[in-house]
Every structure is written in structure tokens, then in C-alpha cells.
Structure 1
Amino acid sequence: MRQFTAIVNPTAGGSAGAAALLRVARLLREAGAELETEYSTSLAHAQELARRAGERQRVVLAVGGDGMTGGIGGALSGTDTVLGIVPAGRGNDFARALGLPADPAALAGILLHGSPRAVDTVEVESAAHSRTVVLGSVYAGVDALANRHANHARVLRGAASYYAGGLRAVATWRAVDYRVTVDGEEHAHRGYTVVAANSAYYGSGRMIAPGARVDDGLLDVVMIREAPRRLFFALMNELKSGAHASRPEVRVLRGRHVRVEADREVPCGADGEVDAVLPVTATVLPGSLHVLC
């Protein structure tokens, strides 16, 4: 029977993290599994707790949102430690990409009996963050600004905060001249954003990269070109289904190593946590994390 260490972010969705864990913890213990709980005081603390639990050969449960999951997953990347996820944040996009169920009983069944799956992680380097490993995507442009607005929202939560943040960001955005280098080949791009996606989803369920897979050893590089604002708002709505990918304003490349630069200071982010500015590089680390899903 598996031994679990749950690491809870007490600020993710208020008390949602503790509540989500309680529903699953009862089922794990009833099945005979051992479960201990650790409460983190910061993302760095959560990562240290995860490393220590891994050294004791325990399955680490990340309880929280994408920032928590990505931070812990990044800390365990390249190790033999198995990660489990109890989604309890605003977006839960990586859990969505893995197909994890919301039902506590179904999730407990996966944690107890599921086989670990090797998935890719992404090494990110920027001026502000010398080296960070994340799980979902790296984005540079209007979406990074929208995420910054969403993180500071005091009233709206979940998808609503991202949508409101997007409207606010687009209203003031000026097109950027990017230089995007994918596996050594340089591409000029003028537009709204560049996203290097390991996962199909970001921004609370928006399917930015419909073809992205977490275990294919590649990043899907989505570039949205300059267009009238009314068209960009239409694109935002199409992110719900991934239909935007068929528009001529959207270009998708694939590669293992991506560098994004710009002609001015442009915000960039990763997994809802990293808040930096360009230039940034993203390198896929194939099969470097073992996840129960």
C-alpha cells in the first residue's frame, strides 16, 4: 500500500485545499494507505517539503492550484519520486490535461491503484529567474499581463478572474515585435503573444494549444499575430474549444528548445506563478516526472 505525504497550500482558493484533501484523505485511509499532511508557508517551502518526502520514498500529493502543482512537480522533476495531484485551485489546468477526475472517490482510486506515467517538464530561464522547472506552459505577452491582473483580483475568482484580466490587458495592449527561435531556427512575429505549451490548457481551462501533449517530448509554440481588437476578443472566446488554432492569425510550431525575445519590455509567466520579463528560454525535459493519472 502506498505511503503519501500531502503538501497543502492553505491559500489556494481560501480553504479549498484543506477541504479537497479531507474528502480524498478519508478514502485513502479507509483503504489502508498511510497519509501525512504538511502545510507550506511558501512555494519554496512546499518544494523543500516535497524533496524531503521523496527522499523517504513517499508519494507526494500536491494539493492546490497550478502554481502549487507546477512548483512541486518542478522540484521533483528528474527524480524517481511519484507525484499525485489533488486539484484545489482556480485553474487546475495541468490536472485537466491529465484527465484527473473531480469526483473524490475516482481520484482516490487513481492515487491508490494508478500506475505512474512519465510526463515532460519544462526548464525555464529568464533574467529574473535563473532556472525554474514548470509543468504547463510559458507565455509572453498579453496573456502574461492578464494573468498578472487575475492574480491581483480581489473580487472575481476562477475563470472569471482570468477573463476579466484578459479584457483589461487587451484594452491597453500594443503589438510587440518578437523574435522566436525554435530549435535554432529564428522566426519574426508581430502580435499579441507567444506561448510555449507543454499542456493544452492554461488560464483556467482555455485550450491554447489543442495539439499539445504532456508526454511527446515537444513544446507547441503558439503565436497569435496582430489583429483588430474585436477579432482578438473573438479569439479569446474560441480558446474554450481550441477553434482559434485554425485561424490564419494563429501559427503553431513545435520544438524542444524555444527562446523568445522582444523589441521592448514584455511580461512573461509560467504556470501562473513565474512573473518575469523577456527574454526567456524554455526547454522540454522529456519524461522527467512520474505522475499518478
Structure 2
Amino acid sequence: MTTTPRGIVVAINPSAAFGRGSAVGAQVVSALRTAGLEVTALSEPSFDALVAATRHALDLGTSALVMVGGDGMVNLGANLLAGSSIPLGIVPSGTGNDTARGLGIPLDDTDAAIAVLLDALTRPPRVIDAARVGAPGGPQRWFVGVLAAGFDAVVNERANLMRWPRGRSRYTLALLRELAVLRPRRYRLVLDGVESQTDAMLVSVGNNTSLGGGMLVTPNALLDDGLLDVLVVQPLSRLAFLRIFPRVFKGTHLTDPRVAVHRARTVSIDSEGLVAYADGERIGPLPLEVEVVPGALRVLAP
């Protein structure tokens, strides 16, 4: 016997954007209920409790899961829904909001983002790729956006420990602080079975275009092409790095001959002493294996 999913689950990160998420969540729930939809609203005191509550709500049945927060909440939603038929909705209220940005969901305008969500609920969901990542032979996690595995990951780790400033400028400040110890790393890469070794300042694996609140590290990446964009930045002096960095926000750094992008379905990446981040979340130390899964995720987006 088939049962009908009961309404929509809305998971809220109340601490997103230093507390803004709670107010945005209440606005989302109110708008959905005003539209005549049955809503189960979840807001827990800890992230682990929110994961457990969301998983339980999904087990009971739902027609959609809406995440209110930043890229960490989107990552949670992707890990709960990838490979399923339940669509993921996003109302951005975090610091980076890079997945929402790549999907064309309005940022810094909750009313507009809710309008997009309500419209998307009336149409078939958009189908996009997601990527699986994990240590060789170990458990795997999903991500939607960009995996950072070099200087960008080091900056991400510092930025996540900072409480000020907010938004994209926090990543800029973290980057400037890490420049003091900037150095190239030796990488071993395997792209679709082809191995290479190279010295690089950073390596990023993009399913989406940006990280860190709009840094277009892989500006030509597409969410539905079945490929990952692998960015490799060759060794640079601090001065050269500072000259290239502002161009990342516009995605024009790819014209520099010391910057290369390769496309692959599977990526193995290793470098001593480095930790990777994906969707702004700490994944773990290298080596890691990444695989894109075409059409793994359904989203409520334009």
C-alpha cells in the first residue's frame, strides 16, 4: 500500500548568519502555511539533534525538504536526499550561500527566495548532479558545490573559526592571514584513471561555481553536465597570488597561464598534511576520492 507524503519539512538553522536564520525560518514557515501547505518545522538546539529530527521527519514521509540556512544546511539536505525522489528546497540565510547562488535563488531577499520556492513547488523539480567524496575504502559523503583541497581549504578552516567580520570579507581576511605561511604543495592527482604529480598552491574540485561567499573558483562548472571542474593553480609568489586573487571574485583568473582547469568524472587527490572542505564543511584529511553522480539530486530552484 502506498501512502501519500505528509506536507513539507522545513529544517531551520537558528544560528545561521549569526542568528538571522531563526527569523528567516519563521517567515518561511508562515509563508508556506499561508499558501495552504502542511508544514513540519524543525529547529533544534544542536546540529546533531537537527540531523536526527530531520531524518525522522523524512522517514515519516514528506513531499519536500526545505533547508533554511547556509551551505552547511544545504550539505545536510544533500546528504539526506541524494539518490531519492524527494526534492530539496533552499531559502538562504547563511554567510556564504554558494549553492543557492549557483542555482539562481535570490540572496539577501527572503521574500524573493520564498516566491521562487513557492513557484518551484508547482513544477517538476530541477535535476542536478551531486558528488560523493571519501577516503579510499572509507565511508562517503555528498557535496553539491566545491571541494577545496589546498590553500583555499586552509583559509576555510581559519574563516570558520572567526566570528568577525561577516560574509565574504571574513574569507578575505582569513586569506590575508594565511598568506604569511603560503607555500606550494606536492599533489598526486588521478583524473578518470590518469595519474599525474604536480606542485600547486591549491586544487579545487567544483560541481558548482563558487565557494567562500562568491569566489568563482570554477566559474564554468555546470550543475548538470555530469562532470567535475578541477582547478589547479601552479606555484606563485605571494605578490603574484595577491594579483590573481581579486580576479577570483569575477572568475577571470582562468586567463592566467599558471591556472588550469581539467574536467573529469572521477578524481583522486592526495597531498601530505592537508584537510579538505566541501560546501564549507570539513571533510577530512587527504587522500580523498571524488565521483560525480549525474542527476543525483532534485532541487526546488529556477
Q: TM-score, normalising length from structure 1?
A: 0.93
Q: Distance in 2 between matches of 1:138 and 1:256?
A: 14
Unaligned runs of 5+ in 2: none
Aligned residues: 292
Distance of aligned partners of 1:47 and 1:290 in 2 relative to their CA distance in 1, 3 Å threshold: farther
- Quote how far apart the aligned CAs of 1:47 are: 3.6
Deviates more, 1:159-168 or 1:43-52: 43-52
Q: Which of 215, 220, 223 is matched with 2:232 structurally? A: 223
Which stretch of the first structure deviates more once superposed, 162-171 or 85-94?
A: 162-171
Task: Using the TM superposition, give the Cα deviation of residue 127 of structure 1 relative to its aligned residue in structure 2, in angstroms.
Answer: 7.2
Give the structure 2 partner of residue 39 of structure 1.
Answer: 43
Distance change (3 Å), C-alpha of 1:266 and 1:240:
same
Q: Separation in 1 of the partners of 2:49 and 2:43? A: 9
Contact 1:81/1:290 (8 A) holds in 2: yes
CA distance in 1 between partners of 2:133 and 2:63 (Å): 27
Aligned to 2:294: 286
Change (3 A) 1:74 1:119: same
What residue in structure 2 maps to residue 100 of structure 1? 105
Amino acid in structure 1 at the alignment position of 2:244 = L
Which deviates the most, 130-139 or 176-185?
130-139
1:271 aligns with 2:279: yes
Alignment of 1:110 onto 2:127: no
Q: Kindly indicate whether residue 88 of structure 2 is the aligned counterpart of residue 83 of structure 1.
A: yes
Q: 8 Å contact 1:198–1:213 — kept in the other structure?
A: yes
Name the SS for the 2:273 alignment partner: coil
TM-score (norm 2): 0.91
Deviations 1:214-266 (A, max 9, x none): 1111100001110111111122211110000111111100011101112x212
Distance 1:29 1:20 in 2: 14
Contact 2:9-2:62 within 8 A present in 1 as well: no
- Relative to 1, partners in 2 of residues 1:155 and 1:107: Cα closer, same or farther, differing over 3 Å? closer
Distance 1:110 1:2, change over 3 A: farther
Q: Considering fraction of residues, name the structure with more strand.
A: 1
Residue 18 of structure 2 is matched in structure 1 by 14
Question: How far, CA to CA, are the matches of 2:282 and 2:119 in structure 1?
Answer: 33
In structure 2, C-alpha distance between the alignment counterparts of 1:126 and 1:157, rounded to whole Å: 32
- Identical residues among aligned pairs (%): 35
1:67 is matched with 72
Corresponding residue for 2:134?
125
In the superposition, relative to structure 1, how do residues 128 and 90 fare at CA in structure 2: closer, same or farther (>3 Å)? farther
Residues in 2 aligned to 1:64 and 1:211: alpha-carbon distance in whole angstroms: 25
1:161-187 Cα deviation digits (max 9, x unpaired): 111111122220221011111100112
How far apart, in 2, do the equivalents of 1:125 and 1:72 lie?
A: 18
Task: Return closer, same or farther for 1:50/1:218 CA change in 2, 3 Å cut-off.
Answer: farther
Is the partner of 1:287 in helix, strand or coil?
Answer: strand
Matched AA of 1:160: S
Q: 1:256 matched to which residue of 2?
A: 265
Q: 2 CA distance for matches of 1:44 and 1:213?
A: 31
Q: CA deviation at 1:129?
A: 7.0
Give, in angstroms, the shift of residue 42 of structure 1.
Answer: 4.2
* RMSD between superposed Cα atoms in Å: 2.0
Q: 1:129 to 1:242 in 2, by over 3 A?
A: farther
How far, CA to CA, are the matches of 2:154 and 2:189 in structure 1?
Answer: 19
CA distance in 2, matches of 1:287, 1:40: 31
Distance 2:179 2:58 in 1: 42
Cα distance change, pair 154–112 in 1 and its aligned pair in 2 (3 A): closer
**In the alignment, what sits opposite 2:7?**
3
Q: Deviations over 1:49-85 (max 9, x none)?
A: 3333333123111111101111221221011111100
Residue 104 of structure 1, CA deviation: 2.9
Is the contact made by 2:269 and 2:287 (CA closer than 8 Å) also made in structure 1? Answer: yes
Distance, in Å, in 2 between the alignment partners of 1:44 and 1:257 is 30
Contact 1:74 1:135 in 2 (8 A): no
Deviations 1:261-292 (A, max 9, x none): 12x21221111112422111111111111100
Tell me if the contact between 1:225 and 1:250 (Cα under 8 Å) persists in the aligned partners: yes
Matched, 1:207 2:216: yes
Structure 1 CA distance for aligned equivalents of residues 143 and 198 of structure 2: 25
